[in-house]
Amino acid sequence: MSLVLKTSNIKEEFQIRKGIRTLTLKALRGVDLELNEQEILSIVGESGCGKTTLLRVLARIYEPTDGIIELFGKRIPKKLSRSKELEFRKSVQMVFQDPFASLNPTKKIEHVLKRPLKIHKIENEREVIESVLSDVELTPTDNYLTKFPHELSGGQRQRVIFARAIITKPQIILADEPTSMLDVSIKSGILNLMMKLKEEHQISFIHVTHDLAAAKYVSDRIAVMYAGIVVEEGNAKDIVNKPLHPYSMLLKEAAPDPERNSAANMLDVGEPPSLIDPPPGCPFEPRCKYAKSECKGPVGFREVDGRKVRCVLY
């Protein structure tokens, strides 16, 4: 399986004002990830763990403070010429969380889909549009092209957004919580669509979610993020069925389960650390029931049963 995207030691810091002081918020503190061809990698974690920041860095919305991003084996420089930037945007598309805010309410779906074709000078507009609408299962085409976004359901809008994303034939889609604002009954349809696009269009996905069940359903691999770093990474089913890192265990415990008391489903054992002054050792130490003195020092990855775990227990 060939590598399509690789990050090495990605850091992202934001300067924030507090009164007369300027503080540095370390949103990403050294993230190494690899995405293979035709693979879905889900990044899972609580809000504030850095997963959306990472996606925005990968989409070149944010410039990383430090680190290297390689696309198809080539390092992406900080500054790209206009033509290289267009080439990047053609190969790497983004799907945002909110299908209501992602479409211009004043434009019909036909306009939404024609725009990337114009930007990337793709010909045979009608044929291409019919083909992508069929790929995302919005047919007959004419029923959708003349509609405004408000005339579609949330699920249909998210399918239009996926149609817009695949219209340039990207190799990678960065999907930021694509199902979090949809009803439960519609969610599985969008996850199935992602798997279909992976198989039929050979697209690789980085899928950001806080929903462990969705990650298990759709992913080949999962990376669990906590306080700006990856703490466990490996095969999706292994991580969900038998998490090794205590934070992954807590995430599994917190996932909704109708067979358990909902009170037990809360992430109620403390808060993530401040990213303004994160602890030098394991960031999960203040919440971890297995913590010991060595957890206060730097904790690197261990290889355990084919996965990587950042914990001294292994």
Candidates 290, 297, 303, 305: give the one binding ligand SF4 (CB under 6 A).
Answer: 290
* Residue of 174, 208, 250, 295 that binds ligand SF4 (CB under 6 A): 295
| Closer of 298 and 306 to ligand SF4 (Cβ) | 298
67 in Cβ contact with 10 (< 8 Å)? yes
Determine which helix (DSSP H) or strand (DSSP E) holds 84, and give its type and residue range.
Answer: helix 82-91
284 binds ligand SF4 (CB under 6 A): yes
Q: Which is nearer to ligand SF4, 207 or 245 (CB)?
A: 245
**E strand or H helix at 307, and its extent?**
strand 307-309
Q: What is the DSSP string of 248-287?
A: HHHHHHHS--TTS-GGGGS--S--PPPSSS--SS-TTGGG
Q: Least Å distance between CB 49 and ligand SF4?
A: 14
CB burial of residue 96 (10 Å; 0-12, 13-18, 19+): buried
For the packed helices 154-166 and 125-135, what is the interaxial angle rounded to 10 degrees?
130
311 lines the binding site for ligand SF4 (CB under 6 A): yes
Residue 243 in the binding site for ligand SF4 (CB under 6 A): no
Nearest distance from C-beta of residue 272 to ligand SF4, angstroms: 13
233 is a contact residue toward ligand SF4 (CB under 6 A): no
Kindly write out the interface string for residues 192-231 of this chain, putting x where it contacts ligand SF4 by CB under 6 A and - elsewhere.
Answer: ----------------------------------------
DSSP annotation of 122 reads -
Closer to ligand SF4 at the Cβ: 222 or 288? 288
Per CB under 6 A, the list member of 177, 234, 285, 307 interacting with ligand SF4 is 285
Q: How far is the CB of 284 from ligand SF4 (least distance, A)?
A: 4
Q: Minimum distance between the CB of residue 297 and ligand SF4, rounded to whole angstroms?
A: 10
Contact status, residue 36 vs residue 210, Cβ threshold 8 Å? no
Asked if 314 and 258 count as a contact pair (C-beta separation under 8 A), the reply is no
To ligand SF4, the closest distance from the beta carbon of 54 in angstroms equals 21
φ/ψ bin of 292: left (φ > 0), alpha (ψ from -120 to 50), beta (otherwise): beta
CB of 50 or CB of 283, closer to ligand SF4: 283
246 binds ligand SF4 per the rule CB under 6 A? yes
Identify which of residues 136 and 282 has a Cβ nearer to ligand SF4 in the complex.
282
Identity of the residue, 217 or 284, whose beta carbon is nearer to ligand SF4 in the bound complex: 284
Between 26 and 198, name the residue whose CB sits nearer to ligand SF4: 26
The DSSP secondary structure of 175-227, one letter per residue, reads: EESTTTTS-HHHHHHHHHHHHHHHHHH--EEEEEES-HHHHHHH-SEEEEEET
What number of other Cβ atoms are within 10 A of residue 47's Cβ?
9
Which residues lie near ligand SF4 (CB under 6 A)? 245-246, 282, 284-285, 288, 290-291, 295, 299, 311-313
